[in-house]
Amino acid sequence: MKIEGARVLVAGATGVLGRAVAAGLHERGARVVAAGRDAARLAEVAGALGTSGRHLDVVDVDSCGDAVRGAVEELGGLDLLVVATGAAGFGRATELDEAVAEELFAVNTLGPMALVRAAAPYLAEARDGEGTAAVLSAVLADLPTAGMADYSAAKAALATWLQVLRREERRSFRVLDVRPPHLDTGLETRALAGSAPRLPASMPHEQVISAILDAVGGDATEIVMDGKEMVLR
């Protein structure tokens, strides 16, 4: 799709990845609305983008719908939805607290699904027929990891849903599944529960941002790890 002039909503724009994606798209000429939960950071991000920030609580379906509709109202439509929300949680499969497991699925799976559902009718009417939903799942969808059973399962569920969505909506809009590895955003230090097991060296998040911008501007449907390399396909 053509990024210049594209009407974009970035959900999770108060996080490290979401903020960087929003800034990168803005620099390439897109009109970007930021959505996030932290009011102070949202105001800062929105100010830099020159648009109105939209409050978003990703575990609240109504909030997801309101954020999408607010962005559509401000932009006059929607060409690209970027979902960069997520939360980490660690613990053995048989020991993780049920409330934590539920929140991991709410934040990492159900929330992104609700955002895409709300955006789907608008993406189907996007400029030049190039509507795109770009959603960050994680490499855990391909490599479930001990000590992260529920976290892995939540990301895998999202990736599976996106795969089916791509087939079902292939004539309506493009679905881009971004499955990055462990990054230098510090997400593991803000986990809902537990401590991270030993993790591989983190990849600079700027590499993921570059890949996302290249993928959005092209026709890729996945960003995945091939060994230690991130590839578009």
The percent of residues above 70 in pLDDT, for the chain, comes to 100
Q: Is the pTM of this model over 0.85?
A: yes
Q: Is residue 137 part of a domain?
A: yes
Q: Is residue 143 part of a domain?
A: yes
Q: Could you list the residue range(s) of the whole structural domain that residue 158 is in?
A: 7-232
In the chain, what is the greatest distance between 2 CA atoms, to the nearest angstrom?
50
**pLDDT tens per residue, range 21-56:** 999 999 999 999 999 999 999 999 999 999 999 999
pLDDT of residue 161: 98
Alpha-carbon distance 200 to 8, whole Å?
A: 33
Q: Is residue 97 part of a domain?
A: yes
pLDDT of residue 82: 98
Least Cα distance to 144 among 136, 135, 155 occurs for 155
Average pLDDT over residues 168-180: 98
Q: Say if CB 173 and CB 123 are below 8 A apart.
A: yes
Average pLDDT over residues 203-218: 97
Structurally, how many domains does the chain consist of?
Answer: 1
Q: Is residue 1 part of a domain?
A: no
**pLDDT tens per residue, range 80-133:** 999 999 999 999 999 999 999 999 999 999 999 999 999 999 999 999 999 999
